């Protein structure tokens, strides 16, 4: 197993490098950029990034128009007219766009190896500090969403499998499918109207992860205040995320229950609980475990932007969206790098949990 872990860790390096390289190349051809955004602001326009003429790649700012130069000139930028060329050059140097793309990419990856993510283009703070500030909200949403989804879906899926075709199975399937079909942000709005000072009750707060007087509260009060603020956003997201794990668990258990070893176990006089949790559970959970990394990572981003916006939660989903709009590539690439690395590590953890759930699985003898 040690050799397998070492091989997997070694393969993460080229995989992560490939993810960053492809994203970097795509960015080079994306319209607009941080310098274009600054030019637009200097010119008093209402757009985040001005369009380019001639189809040059993002980051190639050497062809910006000099003061008075016609915008139709080869490869010039509309927003650069009337600006000092020295200002444009200083902006290029500030953002590092005075260097070739290959050199910029190599410098970025070298810095990331030492966890040096640089400074945000448009915020006077380091990218790492910015991520740390937003991380408590995203961890709270991701952790509790994943935990509650699994704690509800797995027992529900097992019960549905045991009572397959019963009235309980039918009505729970109906509820779960309706919850899956309705977007989480609509549930969020419904919960706000119903429980957060809308047209009915005023039981829960509308904004923030904690109250303004959080520092003055005692520890029990802080815990209650924390969950008080999370109750509505987590409820809205959990309702929409139950379907996949629930039906995956049910189908996995149904498949295992119909196998010969279950019939043999029952013939030996084992109780139904012992059969389900002593024999079936271990085999049926393999498919569920395999989806854990994707479920955990997606919990940070799936509908997180809308939920964070509706409940005024300043997390990584909102940060990533604003960074893309503002062409703050330092933040965009840093968050991509961090969560890609976390996703790869969680995939490895899933494989290791496989062997814990079912010792018959041996990755040591497999080719990676």
Domain boundaries, the chain: 134-328
Buried b / exposed e along 95-126 (16+ C-beta atoms within 10 A)? bebbeebeebbeebbeebeeeebbbbbbbeeb
Residue 21 confidence (pLDDT) = 92
Phi, psi of 52 (to 5 degrees): -100, 155
- 300 versus 218: the higher-pLDDT residue is 218
Percentage of residues in the chain with pLDDT exceeding 70?
76
Average pLDDT over residues 220-242: 89
What CATH architecture does domain 134-328 belong to? Orthogonal Bundle (1.10)
d(CA 155, CA 159) in angstroms, rounded, equals 6
pTM of the model: 0.72
d(CA 248, CA 284) in angstroms, rounded, equals 9
d(CA 75, CA 54) in angstroms, rounded, equals 5
Average pLDDT over residues 166-177: 92
Residue 71 confidence (pLDDT) = 35
């Amino acid at each position: 197993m040690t050799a397998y872990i070492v091989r997997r860790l070694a393969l993460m390096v080229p995989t992560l490098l490939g993810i960053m390289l492809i994203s970097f190349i795509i960015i080079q051809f994306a319209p607009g950029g941080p310098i274009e955004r600054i030019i637009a602001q200097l010119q008093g326009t209402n757009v985040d990034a001005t369009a380019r003429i001639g189809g040059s790649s993002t980051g190639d700012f050497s062809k910006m128009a000099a003061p008075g130069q016609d915008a139709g000139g080869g490869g010039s930028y509309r927003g650069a007219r009337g600006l000092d060329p020295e200002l444009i050059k200083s902006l290029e140097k500030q953002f590092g766009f005075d260097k070739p793309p290959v050199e910029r990419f190599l410098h970025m990856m070298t810095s990331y190896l030492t966890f040096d993510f640089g400074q945000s283009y448009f915020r006077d703070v380091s990218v790492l500090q910015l991520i740390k500030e937003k991380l408590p909200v995203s961890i709270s949403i991701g952790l509790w969403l994943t935990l509650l989804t699994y704690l509800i879906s797995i027992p529900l899926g097992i019960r549905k499998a045991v009572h397959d075709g019963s009235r309980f199975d039918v009505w729970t399937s109906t509820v779960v499918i309706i919850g899956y079909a309705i977007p989480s942000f609509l549930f969020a709005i419904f919960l706000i109207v119903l429980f957060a000072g809308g047209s009915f009750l005023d039981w829960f707060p509308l904004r923030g992860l904690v109250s303004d007087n959080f520092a003055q509260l005692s520890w029990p009060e802080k815990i209650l205040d924390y969950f008080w603020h999370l109750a509505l956003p987590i409820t809205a997201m959990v309702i929409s995320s139950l379907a996949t794990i629930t039906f995956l668990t049910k189908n996995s258990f149904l498949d295992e229950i119909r196998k010969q070893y279950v019939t043999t176990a029952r013939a030996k006089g084992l109780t139904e609980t012992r059969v389900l949790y002593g024999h079936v559970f271990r085999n049926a959970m393999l498919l569920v475990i395999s989806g854990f990394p994707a479920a955990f990572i997606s919990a940070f981003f799936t509908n997180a932007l809308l939920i964070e916006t509706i409940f005024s939660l300043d997390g990584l989903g909102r940060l990533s969206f604003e960074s893309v709009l503002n062409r703050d590539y330092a933040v965009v690439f840093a968050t991509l790098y961090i969560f890609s690395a976390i996703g790869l590590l969680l995939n490895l953890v899933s494989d290791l949990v496989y062997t814990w759930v079912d010792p018959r699985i041996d990755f040591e003898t497999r080719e990676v």
